[in-house]
Amino acid sequence: MVMRTHKFRLYPSNEAEIKMLNSLELCRQTYNELLGLLNEQKEIDKSQIQGIIPDMKICDSRFKQLHSKTMQYECYRLFSNLTALMQTKKKNRRVGSLRFKGKGWFKTFTYNQSGFKIIKTGKRHQILKLSKIGEIPIRCHREIKGKIKQITVKREASGKWFASIAEQTDKEIAPIRKIEKVVGIDVGLDNFVYDSDGNAVKNPRHLNKYNEQLAKLQRNMSKKKKGSINKNKQRIKVARLHEKIVNTRNDFLHKLSHYYVNNYDAIGMEDMPMGLKNNIFAKSKADASWGKFRQFIAYKAESAGKMFVPVPYKGTTQRCSQCGKIVHKTLRDREHNCFCGFIAPRDYNSALEIKKLMLKKLEIGQELPESTPAEMEAIPVMATSVVEAGSPTL
């Protein structure tokens, strides 16, 4: 069994949106109430805190507007915050205690196990039916085949609403196909990827453009007066653009990973500790994308009966893929120039080395049939789809 989470856009009516905002506010109040009780306890007693939830509904009828599981989820949220805090404390960091959440702080509310239903309409929008809220049009980019375990409704800073749907599916492991075409992929800053067939893919140009726009908007925002209407307007602009960047990047990563899984039977990538590469490059954004890219390749390969092969990252940049000698390079050296006569772009040499390591790991060495390198097709990038993969929070 695997859990998968998909994020879909919601299009609530005004009436539904008022109820959704009300749910956020009531969840916040529930959380604060439970935290208040936790603070009074000499010894932590979770069951007592959980037990107060039905009483709250009796004492204050407003809480009847919340689905019971949604309310209970706030208890889960409180205790996972508490666990996180304890773990931070263990590392001897100076931390305080859990804080009460101020107005407008809550961005999500969650239905766990029950209180939801998706109605298929056969049209562009399906219907998400939520207990205590009603029917909300939802744009599903992919069909949900598994059993839905949890739905989290989120209001983004831009004012748009989304639903993160966690589904449980039978592990889709297709039988491994015969390995004929393999590829090694190197990731980097210059080119987002460089593969062992000599294809290089840059980050989509949109992203650079958007990132520049974002920096400009953020500068403008910081000049506006605190609490002013203009500042608020600017804040929404920043949030919208930020959302666009995330969508564009995800779309790019989905298309690129799809390309590799479609065209190759085995795909090798460095098994690099992400934090390490991060230290070297100090580019956390690119770093996050590489991690996501690997994750996309791994799960798409699994569903398609292809292989994802992580190889040790150490030395892939310095080692010559042809003779195995170490050729030292600094970050600035973009070319691999070995005594053995092999000269190639640095990332291309790395990709070839990754492929070599992968073949060794697969123990297929020389037996592989000669294949013509796949021709890289253009990867169109659109900022429309919002599909996210990852593990759910519960």
> Which residues of the chain form contacts with Zn ion (CB under 5 A)?
320, 322-323, 338, 340, 342
What minimum distance in Å lies between the beta carbon of 194 and Zn ion? Answer: 18
Q: Are 253 and 288 in contact (CB under 8 A)?
A: no
166 versus 320: smaller Cβ distance to Zn ion: 320
Which residue's CB is nearer to Zn ion, number 65 or number 322? 322
- Of 86 and 340, nearer to Zn ion (C-beta) is 340
Phi, psi values for residue 63, rounded to 5°: -70, -10
Phi, psi dihedrals of residue 158, rounded to the nearest 5°: -75, -10
Q: 3-state class of 203 per DSSP?
A: coil
Q: In whole angstroms, give the CA distance from residue 61 to residue 19.
A: 15
Of 51 and 324, which CB lies nearer to Zn ion in the complex structure? Answer: 324
Question: What is the Cα–Cα distance from 342 to 282, expressed in whole angstroms?
Answer: 30
Measure the CA angle with vertex 163, ends 157 and 169; round to 5°. Answer: 145
Name which of 32 and 322 has its Cβ closer to Zn ion.
322
Rg (CA), the chain: 25
d(CA 58, CA 49): 15
Cβ nearer to Zn ion, comparing 140 with 320? 320
* Residue 351, helix vs strand vs coil: helix
> Closer CB to Zn ion, residue 183 or residue 338?
338
CB of 327 to Zn ion, least distance (A): 7
Total number of residues shown for the chain: 394
- Comparing CB distances to Zn ion, the nearer of 174 and 323 is 323
d(CA 87, CA 84): 5
Q: CB of residue 343 vs Zn ion: minimum separation in angstroms? A: 9
Characterize the bridge pairing of strands 108-112 and 147-155: antiparallel
Task: Please say which residue, 322 or 393, places its beta carbon nearer to Zn ion.
Answer: 322
Side by side, which strands form the sheet with 307-311? 200-201, 193-195, 182-187, 266-270, 307-311
User: For 365, which DSSP code?
Assistant: G
Half-sphere exposure of 183 (CA within 13 A, CB side): 27
Least spacing, CB of residue 362 vs Zn ion, in Å: 23
Which pair of tokens denotes residue 11? 């299009």
Nearer to Zn ion, 30 or 349 (CB): 349
In the complex, least distance from residue 329 CB atom to Zn ion, rounded to whole angstroms: 13
Dump the DSSP string for 4-68: EEEEEEE---HHHHHHHHHHHHHHHHHHHHHHHHHHH-SS--HHHHHHHHHHHHHH-GGGGGS-H
Distance of closest approach, residue 340 Cβ to Zn ion, in angstroms: 3
Rounded to the nearest whole angstrom, what is the least distance from the CB of residue 321 to Zn ion in the complex? 8
| Least CB distance to Zn ion at residue 313 (A) | 20
What one-letter code names the amino acid at 297?
Answer: I
Strand positions, DSSP E, 209-286: 266-270
The CB-of-355 to Zn ion minimum distance in angstroms stands at: 15
Smallest separation, CB 323 to Zn ion (Å): 3
